[in-house]
Amino acid sequence: MEILVAILLTVATAATPLLIAAIGELVVERSGVLNLGVEGMIIMGAVSGFIAGYVTGSPWLGLLAAIVVGALFSLLFGFMVLTLATNQVATGLSLTLLGLGLSGMIGAKFVGVPGPKLSNLYIPGLTDLPVVGRLVFGQDPVVYLSIALTFGVGWFLFRTRTGLTLRAIGDSHGSAHALGISVVGYRYLAVMFGGACSGLAGGYLSLVYTPQWTENMSAGRGWIALALVVFASWRPWRVLGGAYIFGAVWIGQLHAQAFGIPVPGQVLAAAPYAATILVLVLISRNKRLTMMNTPASLGQPFVPDR
């Protein structure tokens, strides 16, 4: 039972950065913008969060720095695609490459240096409960924040006037502009929110998941987060379930290697990415469902005077 509890705890930890990054990207795509730079923003959040946490000795300040850097990095993407109307796919890919290279340069002096770690919660009487105590009341604070963020975004998108406006922009930016809605303004805010979430996901990696900085430690999580949004058909609560499924796959391959299962390590290490491809293939078979939920203006540039 102790082994099972330990595995479930690590599944929650592995799922949290995927969930946070995917929820942020979901809001961005609901506004009609496709940001493929999630991986770059995650890795920039990881390096900046670790450095800030290491210098100040506070993991909370490190997470705050990761959020700010992620949001600022996303502004570069926003300026290119929203103000200059560049191609969103090419710009997002460029942002990822920039983030991977820049983070490696900035964090070169901090590789392998131990940093501060955000501690798990401890609630007397509740955390000590058998089995459920550590699982429900003994996680780190960001795990609870990620779940609250999921429900908050779901409420915002489907229960508020501003959320309805954002979804309307994603479905038809031309009609929204004709009604006097500031399409570019809404999209800038959505892009910044997505960048802040990606930065937080990166800070979580370097301050909670593995409290240290290593180059390319995002390890493709940004791409999995992008796939999660499609897997969830742009629904926040489905993102929550999908993130924990992918987290279980990620942790499962690590424990499989530890238990000595006779499968080549390379195959096990590739399992999360193979699962991502399999999910996308299965989703693509139901084209009607995919088209019905996809924001109609997703990836299309918008210039008000055209």
Average pLDDT, the chain: 89
Q: Is residue 303 part of a domain?
A: no
**Residue 130's pLDDT band (boundaries 50, 70, 90)?**
confident
Cα(68)–Cα(71) distance, integer angstroms: 5
pTM above 0.85, yes or no: yes
Q: Is residue 73 part of a domain?
A: yes
**Higher per-residue pLDDT: 236 or 267:** 236
Given a contact cutoff of 8 angstroms between Cβ atoms, the answer to whether 297 and 173 are in contact is yes
pLDDT for 57? 93
User: For 190-248, how does the pLDDT look when each residue is reduced to its tens digit (9 = 90+)?
Assistant: 999 999 999 999 999 999 998 999 999 998 999 999 999 988 889 999 899 989 988 88
Given a contact cutoff of 8 angstroms between Cβ atoms, the answer to whether 106 and 51 are in contact is yes
Neighbours of 110 (CB within 10 A): 17
Q: Is residue 62 part of a domain?
A: yes
Per cent of the chain over pLDDT 70 is 92
Q: Is residue 306 part of a domain?
A: no
Q: Is residue 72 part of a domain?
A: yes
**Residue 154's pLDDT band (boundaries 50, 70, 90)?**
very high
Q: Is residue 260 part of a domain?
A: yes
Average pLDDT over residues 96-119: 92
Q: Is residue 299 part of a domain?
A: no
pLDDT for 34? 96
Average pLDDT over residues 54-60: 95
Q: Is residue 213 part of a domain?
A: yes
**Residue 188's pLDDT band (boundaries 50, 70, 90)?**
very high
pLDDT for 246? 87
Q: Give the up-direction half-sphere exposure of residue 115: CA atoms within 13 A in the CB hemisphere.
A: 36
Range of the domain at 284: 2-293
User: The domain spanning residue 46 has which CATH number?
Assistant: 1.10.3470
Residue with tokens 């499968």: 263
Phi, psi dihedrals of residue 111, rounded to the nearest 5°: -65, 125
**Higher per-residue pLDDT: 173 or 4:** 173
Return the DSSP state at 40: H
Neighbours of 229 (CB within 10 A): 26
What is the number of domains present in the chain?
1
